[in-house]
Amino acid sequence: MTQEKWGEIRQRLLKTVGQNNYKTWIEPIAPGNVEGGIATLHVPTNFFGNYVSQNFSDLILHEINAEGIVASRLNFALDPKGAVAAEPVAAKATQKAVAKEQPARQEVTTTAPLDPRFSFDNFVVGKPNELAHAAARRVAEGGPVTFNPLFLYGGVGLGKTHLMHAIAQELKQRKPEMNVLYLSAEQFMYRFVQALRDRKMMDFKELFRSVDVLMVDDVQFIAGKDSTQEEFFHTFNALVDQHKQIIISADRAPTDIKDLEERVQSRLQCGLVVDLHPTDYELRLGILQSKLEVQQKTYPGLVVADGVLEFLAHRITANVRVLEGALTRLFAFASLVGREIDMDLTQDCLVDVLRSNERKITVEEIQRKVSEHFNIRLSDMIGPKRLRSYARPRQIAMYLCKQLTTRSLPEIGRRFGGRDHTTVMHGVRRIEELKQSDGQIAEDLELLGRALKN
């Protein structure tokens, strides 16, 4: 794609995404080639590429097509110039570490730019994330290290990176003299490999051992990568020994990360492990309300009809990023077509998002809900005990698994402590009968079914 064409496309994007988004997310993009229906765009960092891809790819593609370029997909590639520009940061930090001339003001070293929008102010706190938030706030004070590491984990898009950036930025403000290093586990590996290749392991070690706060995002990435794990382990230990704060995030708990050495797992657990739970309706609504204010600054005058936010909070449950993307898209489309954001527009504009967010109920969810409903322990419900007070809820859970998931009987059996499929079948039949004859059971099923589909 020529610079000229891209210039045209950019101008149009400016109108649809608004000045702020444009400056931050569109301007730094450089056009690449178009091949086999794929248009390549060069971006300065992976983080940047991901963000643009999640939030603006539809619009960009739309404008590219409108410019007469045939492409059905975008590919975000790292700008080779951008990658080179990242080098001096590492080099500078290393020199500092080696020279250690003056402990005066050291810059916060980051490989990925910290996103200013990922601040504590912009983080909406609700029940599912209050603990993680409180722990993040605590380490962001930069006081004496009380738990090391802080290990934050949770599913995709629940705010781990947001909290990490918030901590780094808060520390930067409160303690400008501290050397804070934030990077993804992938970047850690990349630097490690590069140091090996360039025979600069000493520099690498110096750099990582000279930080005051080390933050590594998405640590599950190094699972199965043996020498990176090994190096990470040593870095980790060296910093803990010096009472330097370490903050780690992952998409699951330390013990659930497969192919992570046991000694690394146990090291990761020795501080404070907190998880971000899946969002609930109230939190999603709160997040939407706060993002709405941001959007309205970009698109003054656009009106959102009553019920739209509630609808989104109800229907898009999986991931805050998707929720946020939906809102961005709604505003962009509404401003394009000059309409109010009402239910009709929402349905039109978000068909695909809404479809892919149709709730998929899992066996685990059913087991949890049923055990809560009957006030028994999950382990008792899945375990071998045959007492009626466990066996009946177990059968109810099996029945619901058969009804509400696509799992086969043997699969369900396996998840109920390795039971045989005939046991599951028997349980399902029993509940089918009882549903007709026992009013209490019918009511339990009704309640549970509703709670699960919500």
Residues lying near ligand ADP in the complex (CB under 6 A) = 118, 122-124, 129, 154, 156-162, 287, 320-321, 324
Provide, rounded to whole angstroms, the least separation between the CB of residue 180 and ligand ADP. Answer: 18
Residue with Cβ nearer Mg ion (94 or 129) = 129
Q: Which is nearer to ligand ADP, 287 or 382 (CB)?
A: 287
Residue 63, SS3?
helix
**Minimum distance from CB of 378 to Mg ion (Å)?**
28
* Residues within window 121-160 making contact with Mg ion, judged by CB under 5 A: 160
| Amino acid residing at 233 | F
Say how far apart CA 293 and CA 440 lie, in whole Å.
47
CB of 158 to Mg ion, least distance (A): 9
Residue 208 touches which of Mg ion, ligand ADP, none (CB < 5 to 8 A by kind)?
Answer: none
Whichever of 96 and 321 has its CB closer to Mg ion, that residue is: 321
Type and span of the H or E element at 336: helix 320-337
| Comparison of 170 and 218: residue with beta carbon closer to Mg ion | 218
Nearest approach, Cβ of residue 55 and ligand ADP (Å): 9
Q: For ligand ADP, which residue has the nearest CB?
A: 159
* Number of Cβ atoms within 10 Å of the Cβ of 355: 8
Q: Which does 79 bind (CB under 5 to 8 A by kind): ligand ADP, Mg ion, none?
A: none
The option from Mg ion, ligand ADP, none interacting with 170 (CB < 5 to 8 A, set by class) reads none
Residue 106 near residue 178, CB atoms below 8 Å: yes
According to DSSP, the residues that pair with 276 across neighbouring strands are 154
Any residues with CB less than 8 A from the CB of 314 and at least 6 apart, and which?
A: 281
124/332 with CB nearer Mg ion: 124
Contact 305, 184 (CB under 8 A): no
Burial environment of residue 211 by CB neighbours within 10 A (0 to 12, 13 to 18, 19 or more): buried
**What residue 274 binds from Mg ion, ligand ADP, none (CB within 5 to 8 A, per partner kind)?**
none
Instruction: Look at strands 30-35 and 38-43 and give their pairing.
Output: antiparallel
3-state helix, strand, coil in the chain (%, to 5): 60, 10, 30
Nearest to 182 by CA among 248, 264, 85, 86: 248
Number of H helices, E strands in the chain: 20, 9
Task: Tell the smallest beta-carbon distance from residue 322 to ligand ADP (Å).
Answer: 9
| DSSP helix/strand/coil, 168 | helix
| 328 near Mg ion, judged by CB under 5 A | no
Q: How far is the CB of 312 from ligand ADP (least distance, A)?
A: 14
Q: From residue 257, give the alpha-carbon distance in Å to each of 153, 252, 264, 268, 407.
A: 11, 7, 10, 11, 24
In the numeric block, which tokens belong to residue 328? 């961005």
**154 and 276 Cβ atoms separated by less than 8 Å:** yes
Q: Can you state the angle between helices 363-373 and 439-453, rounded to 10 degrees?
A: 130
> Which residue has the CB atom at the shortest distance from Mg ion?
161
Subset of 159-218 contacting Mg ion (CB under 5 A): 160-161
Specify the residue, 292 or 431, whose C-beta has the smaller distance to ligand ADP: 292
Shortest reach from residue 142's CB to Mg ion, in Å: 22
**Please, what is the minimum distance in Å from the beta carbon of residue 233 to ligand ADP?**
23
Instruction: Return the one option of ligand ADP, Mg ion, none that residue 156 interacts with (CB less than 5 to 8 A, by type).
Output: ligand ADP
The number of residues that bind Mg ion (CB under 5 A) is 2
Measured from the CB atom, the residue of 350 and 424 that comes closer to ligand ADP is 350
Identity of the residue, 291 or 369, whose beta carbon is nearer to ligand ADP in the bound complex: 291
* Smallest distance from ligand ADP to CB 287, Å: 5
Measured between alpha carbons, how far is 177 from 164 in angstroms, rounded to an integer?
Answer: 19
Nearer to Mg ion, 161 or 328 (CB): 161
> From start to end of 257-411, where are the E strands?
272-276
User: 96 touches which of ligand ADP, Mg ion, none (CB within 5 to 8 A by kind)?
Assistant: none
Picked from Mg ion, ligand ADP, none, the partner binding residue 157 (CB below 5 to 8 A depending on kind) is ligand ADP
Quick one: 251 or 261, whose CB is closer to ligand ADP? 251
Q: Of 339, 278, 345, whose CA–CA distance to 307 is shortest?
A: 345
Note the maximum CA span of the chain: 83
CB of 160 to Mg ion, least distance (A): 5
162 binds, among Mg ion, ligand ADP, none (CB under 5 to 8 A by kind): ligand ADP
Which token pair is 443?
């009511």
Interface residues with Mg ion (CB under 5 A) are 160-161
